[in-house]
Amino acid sequence: MDKYKVSLKNRTNALSLVAAATLLIYVGLMYFQGGLPKLPSFIKGFHIGAFIGVELFVVSYLAKYMKAAKNETELKKLYIKESDERSGLILQKTATLGMSITFVGLAIAAIVAGFFSSLVFYTLLAALLTILIMFFALLVYFSKKN
């Protein structure tokens, strides 16, 4: 459990850093807004939503980790929740199926888009290739690790 306590402390520090960096980036972008291209209101709204989402996510996890760090029972419960083997299996199966659906979906979308717009086609193809490269890199990594 001591190792897990150290891991939680590291995570707390990393999350605090993420929260601070996100805030700095957002404030910086707002400050230099004049030098940036004019954006449609939907994209602006998306940026604000993403910023608020990241901050809320970080705050909720920080609160969870701090609460667990103060109480041994809570700490053990959190550890069990994170390391539960059935949850791990569920996540693994979900990720595997989700990945397959994403591959096939992107490939079909790229083929269909190719008939209408070359820009959309290349964008989807780039996304598909990026995911494929990442998938095979991780496959090699975990094959060597296990």
Partner 1 sequence: MKTRIAELRKQHKLSQEELGLAVGVTRQTITSLEVGKYTASLVLAYKIAKYFGLAIEDVFDFSEVEEEL
Positions in 43-102 near partner 1 (CB under 8 A): 76-77, 79-81, 83-87, 89
- Judge whether 18 and 54 are in contact, CB under 8 Å: yes
- Binding-site size for partner 1 (CB under 8 A) equals 11
If we measure between CA atoms, which residue out of 143, 109, 146, 140 comes closest to residue 126? 109
In the complex, minimum distance from the CB of residue 76 to partner 1, in angstroms, rounded to a whole number? 7
If we measure between CA atoms, which residue out of 109, 103, 105, 104 comes closest to residue 139? 103
In the complex, minimum distance from the CB of residue 90 to partner 1, in angstroms, rounded to a whole number? 9
In the complex, minimum distance from the CB of residue 84 to partner 1, in angstroms, rounded to a whole number? 5
Nearer Cβ to partner 1 (24/95): 95
Cα–Cα–Cα angle for 110, 115, 119, nearest 5°? 60
What's the longest Cα–Cα distance across the chain? 60
**Residue 98 backbone phi and psi in degrees, to 5:** -60, -40
What is d(CA 64, CA 68) in angstroms, rounded to the nearest whole number? Answer: 6
Nearer Cβ to partner 1 (16/71): 71
Nearer Cβ to partner 1 (38/145): 145
In the complex, minimum distance from the CB of residue 2 to partner 1, in angstroms, rounded to a whole number? 16
In the complex, minimum distance from the CB of residue 121 to partner 1, in angstroms, rounded to a whole number? 43
Tokens of 77: 């419960």
Residues in the chain: 146
Nearer Cβ to partner 1 (27/84): 84
Positions that interact with partner 1 (CB under 8 A): 76-77, 79-81, 83-87, 89
